[in-house]
Structure 1
Amino acid sequence: MPANTSPADLYRHSLQLLLDKNIPDWVGLWAEDGILEFPFAPRGWPGRLEGKESIAAYMRHYPDHIDLHDFPDVRIHQTTDPETIVVEMRGVGRLVETASPFDVRYIAVVTVQDRHFTTYRDYWNPLAVQEPGVDFAGSNR
């Protein structure tokens, strides 16, 4: 990414990588000591991932579970901290195992330093994918 890449541009690029199912390059956007948090994680699911390796392990099989088709309605809000953005969006697609529709709203608070994600708090509703037999992206359920 160019040196003048904004946090919003980096985030938009990360969404395209997810749509392309390019998980290695998506993980490459993370700082080595990056932290990915899920404040609403249900029991048995990770609530906090520390370090690029943990994030990579969690995301490795993401496309095997969720087939993303689009991120409509992406709204990125600037904050008083130029390195931090707040994102509102929807992710739509299907759950691979059941072929059920996937349509989830997200709010994320993301901090970027030196063109890498350093913190990412993902406020999404995991109940949207909690169907019998569905396991999500490396969860420990």
Structure 2
Amino acid sequence: MSAPTSPADLYRHSLRLLLDKNIPGWVGLWAEDGVMEFPFAPDGWPRRLEGKEAVAAYMRHYPDHIDLQGFPALLIHQTTDPETIVVEMRGVGRLTRTDSPFDMTYIAVVTVRDGRITSYRDYWNPLALEPGTDFAGSGR
């Protein structure tokens, strides 16, 4: 399969990779100098990851903590910048440690240049996780 060309297609492809628990494939969509930000991250959690390697380290154990099973609501909005999209989505699955439901609403602002993610601002709600949840390299 050839690489998706539009930011929306690349993003949809990234979600399929997450559902397949293909973290190396997901990280492969990133530019070497890509930046991932979490503006609402609580104290002790990373707020900014700089570079593909930092993103890879953060996401490496994601499937060990969250078993994503679907994205039942996905809206992708084009912006005046053809390389930037705004995504509204809901991710559902299970928290692996407790086998309790995972149901998270996200808003993301994603920029793609030359077919790679260069910026990803993830506006998720950390208050929706159970206390003590260990999440994807957060050290929690």
TM-score of the pair, normalised by structure 2: 0.96
Superposition deviation, residue 4 in structure 1: 6.6
Which residue matches 2:46? 46
CA RMSD of aligned residues (A): 1.2
Structure 1 unmatched runs, 5+: none
How far apart, CA to CA, are the structure 2 residues paired with 1:83 and 1:119? Answer: 10
Superposition deviation, residue 72 in structure 1: 1.1
How far apart, CA to CA, are the structure 2 residues paired with 1:51 and 1:91? Answer: 25
Which residue matches 2:10? 10
Deviations 1:62-83 (A, max 9, x none): 0000000001110000000000
Which residue matches 1:70? 70
How far apart, CA to CA, are the structure 2 residues paired with 1:50 and 1:29? Answer: 15
TM-score of the pair, normalised by structure 1: 0.95
Equivalenced residues, count = 140
Structure 2 unmatched runs, 5+: none
How far apart, CA to CA, are the structure 2 residues paired with 1:88 and 1:2? Answer: 26
Which residue matches 1:135? 134
Q: Percent identity?
A: 78
**Given that residues 129 and 136 in structure 1 are in contact (C-alpha distance below 8 angstroms), is that contact kept between their aligned partners in structure 2?**
no
Describe the SS at the equivalent of 2:131.
coil
